[in-house]
Amino acid sequence: MQTPAVVTTVDALRAVVGNWRRAGEKVALVPTMGALHAGHLALVAEAARAAPRVVVSIFVNPTQFAPHEDLATYPRNLERDLAALAPAGVDLVFAPEVGEMYPEGASTVVTVGGPSQGLESDARPHFFAGVATVVAKLLTQCAADVAVFGEKDFQQLAVVRRLARDLSIPTEIRSAPTVREPSGLALSSRNAYLSADDRARAAGLHAALSGAAEGVRAGRSAESAIATARAQIEASGFAVDYVELRDAGTLGAFEPDSGRDGRILAAARIGGVRLIDNVPVTMSKSVA
């Protein structure tokens, strides 16, 4: 079990990845902000299935935090993250400083329309420009064949897919399902901020979304299923930012009769902690 090697500069990253590619080895990238948990390790496992060489980036990206958000207190512990990655077969960690990613005078911002509209953007208007800018940089810096993102951040995943397509970035974007606690609570680095009480009540978020998804699949109207889910989430002790059913592919409006899959996405706050989650609404008929 070897702790992965760490590079902190783009030149060093390119040198290592370039050697692998010249040797004909495929490379998969898992972008993270550190504070790694089992959800990240599932992304790493997916990356390892996709390519023999796995790079994990660890960078708490300042441009995706608003001034009032938790950039200063976001959990950072590189040693612990490296120890978590050691048994996972990660070859390289790219852990740049802010100045490496955003050199003095950096003035290029990537904004994605389409799937970035609404949902998270209503509460966090700065967020996707920060994510898209840093992900565009990571994808071009690493030049990986594959990059893996979690379905937990479903809107982010859609934004990243759109950005890679629109900018002709030749990295294949793959996803991995959300990892949950036995209670159904989606794993998130921000769960560390929850009190024991709120953590127990937070399981109500996933239960409510799953119930709504089941209802829509069974033919209940989206309005009624979503209204019930919202009331249940509030009854668990949350203040709801949004609960919405969208088309799973485009994140545009969901059309129940189109046969296309939907996704119910939600964000809600409990005990000062903002959690997001989402569940699939599978409408495609299974072939007997």
Backbone φ and ψ for 173, nearest 5 degrees, come out as -95, 120
Residue nearer to ligand PAF on the CB measure, 64 or 278 = 64
Backbone φ and ψ for 191, nearest 5 degrees, come out as -60, -25
CA angle centred on 131, ends 281 and 33, rounded to 5°: 95
What's the closest the beta carbon of residue 228 comes to ligand PAF, in angstroms?
A: 30
What's the closest the beta carbon of residue 18 comes to ligand PAF, in angstroms?
A: 23
Rounded Cα distance between 243 and 247, Å, is 14
- Say if CB 269 and CB 241 are below 8 A apart: yes
* CA 89 and chain centroid, separation: 21
- Say if CB 187 and CB 39 are below 8 A apart: yes
- Say if CB 30 and CB 174 are below 8 A apart: no
What is the binding site for ligand PAF (CB under 6 A)? 31-33, 61, 64, 131, 134-135, 153, 156
- Say if CB 155 and CB 64 are below 8 A apart: no
Residue nearer to ligand PAF on the CB measure, 156 or 175 = 156
Backbone φ and ψ for 20, nearest 5 degrees, come out as -60, -45
Residue nearer to ligand PAF on the CB measure, 153 or 244 = 153
Which residues lie closer than 8 Å to 32 by C-beta, 6 or more apart?
A: 40, 43, 56, 57, 58, 59
What's the closest the beta carbon of residue 94 comes to ligand PAF, in angstroms?
A: 11
Can 40 be counted among the known catalytic residues?
Answer: yes
What's the closest the beta carbon of residue 160 comes to ligand PAF, in angstroms?
A: 7
What's the closest the beta carbon of residue 130 comes to ligand PAF, in angstroms?
A: 7
Residue nearer to ligand PAF on the CB measure, 131 or 229 = 131
Backbone φ and ψ for 30, nearest 5 degrees, come out as -120, 105
Residue nearer to ligand PAF on the CB measure, 61 or 232 = 61
Backbone φ and ψ for 275, nearest 5 degrees, come out as -115, 145
What's the closest the beta carbon of residue 171 comes to ligand PAF, in angstroms?
A: 13
Kindly give the pairing relationship between strand 5-7 and strand 92-94.
parallel
Residue nearer to ligand PAF on the CB measure, 175 or 232 = 175
Give Dmax over CA atoms of the chain in angstroms: 59
40, 68, 126, 206: the catalytic one is: 40
Active-site annotation, residues? 40
